[in-house]
């Protein structure tokens, strides 16, 4: 996998300079590249207790992204997934520590413990007051005497940072930080491994599997399990966390390991709230990427039983967009739709010819789901088949309530259902099409003329015309030929659809963003769907339209 970097060995220093340049002057760094990489608050005056954290890079926005008023005073950055040196940590301590002293917040990895610990000892020998807190919040390995420090470290940063901002002394802050670290519990899961720039990717997790209990450095998790959906995967995480949680409300931190989409993260939050853990959760941090792992497609969940005072410290605002804030969990609230949007109830009636036509067309579209999706993947987002199949399934389910004996009302009912059930621009356009056709029929226009008026309406509103490589390239010639019979209309629709495969430029829709190489030889999926509908009608010998 390619990365947006230059030379791998320079990626950390370049990333730090990019962060500082975009900070609006809030951040500075110590001189000493490339061996000393320390990011510091530019407004720091040493009048309060300093907070320093850090470790290997690759976990962005941690750690440098949390340097700011109310959180960290400085962050010491090592190479990717590697602890910073003793000299780098010591340089950070000496740069920010005043009479109030300094607290080092260290994740529980051997390199970090040794380097931060020795730097603290050397700083003390130079006359500085330095305390060190080790965070080991990972519960994935319950028998491990030295559990890893993962995203729950952010609870320590925030609570200690708020206390330092209020002017608490070093002893008080260190004690609170140790209590927070001891009571924070975290568990991670991922569908894929991370990839270190400049190194080959370890494809350890097969397709269809999920790894549970993994850390933030790409190391293997506790076990792999079959992945069915997020609900079952999250159940294992919640079971492990529940076994460690005390009574009382908890704050939960939902951390993106870097490669999980926002859509997925919100689904995870939904499932977390619905799980058996949900009644223990009062507040949430995230979902957001706070301690990443080089784009890993995973998530970690951290819980903390905050006291009322600790909750105030967590909620205290900070001028950092990397900290998403703390919000209370609340039931999903709804407000009623406008009465103007309430669906019109058309009286059901029978016309076997029309009902059979609709049923056959719907079944054809449902059966075409995979092929239409494959066509759409060539020029769009690959969902045309699924979209039309869902709409067809909805129409079939509602067929017994449709006014088949009144064509004008039938078309209006189809417009209403498609507008609700069919997503994307196709659903809107077809809803407009059937509404305009139904309106024309209601005003006494003949069927074919009404269908053409519906086409004119979607061309006017949608902006597409014949030759733009859309469904219109099949629909317009089909309607023009319909006067000669449904079989001629089907032939014209097929010819029009096939012709779209020779069009190297689309004039509308997502395909208009796609290059000629990708369009060449591929039929437009909307035109293909129209052609299949007319072919279905012709094959079933439906020669006469109402």
Question: Catalytic positions, please?
Answer: 217
Burial state string for 436-445 with b = 16 or more CB within 10 A and e = fewer than 16: bbbbbbeeeb
Alpha helix segments (H runs only) across 248-351? 262-274, 308-315
Name residue 107's beta-bridge partners: 135
- Regarding beta strands 281-288 and 74-80, do their DSSP bridges make them parallel or antiparallel, or are they unpaired? unpaired
First to last CA, the chain: 58
Nearest residue to 198 via CA among 59, 63, 7: 7
- Judging by beta carbons within 10 Å of its beta carbon (0-12, 13-18, 19+), is residue 242 exposed, middle or buried? middle
Q: E-assigned strands of 227-386?
A: 250-256, 281-288, 298-304, 326-328
- φ/ψ (deg, to 5) at 211: -105, 130
Alpha-carbon span 380 to 509, nearest angstrom: 8
Alpha-carbon span 220 to 190, nearest angstrom: 10
Alpha-carbon span 354 to 403, nearest angstrom: 10
Nearest residue to 35 via CA among 96, 94, 95, 76: 76
Nearest residue to 101 via CA among 189, 39, 173: 173
């Amino acid at each position: 996998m390619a990365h947006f970097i230059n030379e791998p060995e320079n990626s950390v220093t370049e990333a730090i300079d990019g962060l500082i340049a975009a900070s609006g002057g809030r951040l500075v760094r110590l001189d000493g590249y490339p061996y000393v990489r320390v990011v510091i608050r530019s407004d720091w005056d040493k009048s309060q207790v300093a907070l320093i954290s850090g470790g290997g890079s690759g976990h962005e926005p941690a750690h440098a992204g949390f340097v700011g008023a109310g959180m960290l005073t400085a962050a010491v950055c090592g190479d990717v997934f590697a602890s910073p040196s003793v000299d780098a940590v010591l340089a950070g301590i000496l740069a920010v520590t005043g009479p109030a002293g300094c607290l080092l917040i260290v994740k529980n990895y051997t390199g970090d413990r040794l380097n931060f610990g020795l730097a603290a000892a050397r700083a003390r020998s130079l006359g500085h007051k330095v305390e060190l807190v080790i965070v080991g919040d990972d519960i994935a390995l319950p028998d491990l005497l030295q559990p890893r420090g993962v995203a729950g470290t952010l609870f320590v940063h925030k609570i200690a940072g708020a206390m330092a901002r209020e002017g608490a002394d070093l002893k008080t802050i260190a004690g609170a930080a140790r209590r927070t670290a001891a009571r924070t519990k975290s568990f991670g899961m991922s569908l894929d491994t991370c990839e270190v720039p400049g190194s080959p990717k370890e494809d350890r997790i097969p397709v269809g599997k999920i790894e549970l209990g993994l850390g933030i450095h790409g190391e293997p998790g506790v076990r792999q399990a079959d992945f069915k959906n997020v609900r079952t995967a999250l159940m294992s995480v919640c079971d492990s966390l529940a076994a460690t949680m005390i009574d009382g409300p908890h704050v939960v931190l939902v951390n993106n390991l870097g490669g999980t989409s926002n859509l997925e993260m919100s689904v995870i939050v939904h499932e977390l709230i619905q799980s058996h853990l949900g009644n223990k959760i009062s507040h949430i941090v995230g979902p957001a990427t706070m301690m990443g792992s080089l784009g890993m497609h995973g998530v970690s969940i951290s819980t903390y039983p905050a006291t009322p005072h600790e909750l105030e410290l967590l909620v205290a605002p900070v001028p950092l967009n990397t900290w998403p804030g703390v919000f209370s969990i609340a039931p999903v609230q709804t407000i009623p739709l406008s009465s103007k949007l309430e669906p019109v109830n058309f009286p059901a009636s029978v016309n076997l010819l029309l009902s059979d036509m609709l049923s056959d067309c719907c079944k054809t579209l449902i059966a075409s789901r995979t092929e239409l999706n494959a066509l759409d993947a060539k020029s769009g987002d690959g969902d045309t088949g699924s979209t039309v199949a869902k709409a067809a399934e909805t129409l079939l389910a509602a067929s017994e309530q449709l006014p088949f004996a009144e064509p004008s009302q039938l078309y209006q009912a189809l417009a209403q259902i498609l507008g609700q059930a069919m997503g994307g621009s196709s659903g809107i356009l077809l809803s407009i099409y059937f509404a305009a056709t139904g309106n024309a029929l209601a005003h006494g226009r003949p069927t074919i003329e009404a269908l053409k008026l519906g086409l004119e309406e979607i061309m006017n509103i949608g902006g597409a015309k014949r030759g733009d490589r859309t469904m219109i390239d099949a629909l317009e010639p089909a309607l023009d030929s319909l006067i000669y019979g449904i079989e001629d209309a089907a032939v014209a629709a097929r010819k029009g659809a096939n012709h779209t495969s020779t069009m190297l430029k689309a004039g509308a829709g997502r395909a208009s963003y796609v290059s000629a190489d990708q369009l060449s030889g591929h039929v437009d999926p909307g035109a293909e769907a129209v052609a299949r509908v007319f072919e279905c009608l012709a094959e079933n010998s439906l020669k006469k339209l109402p």
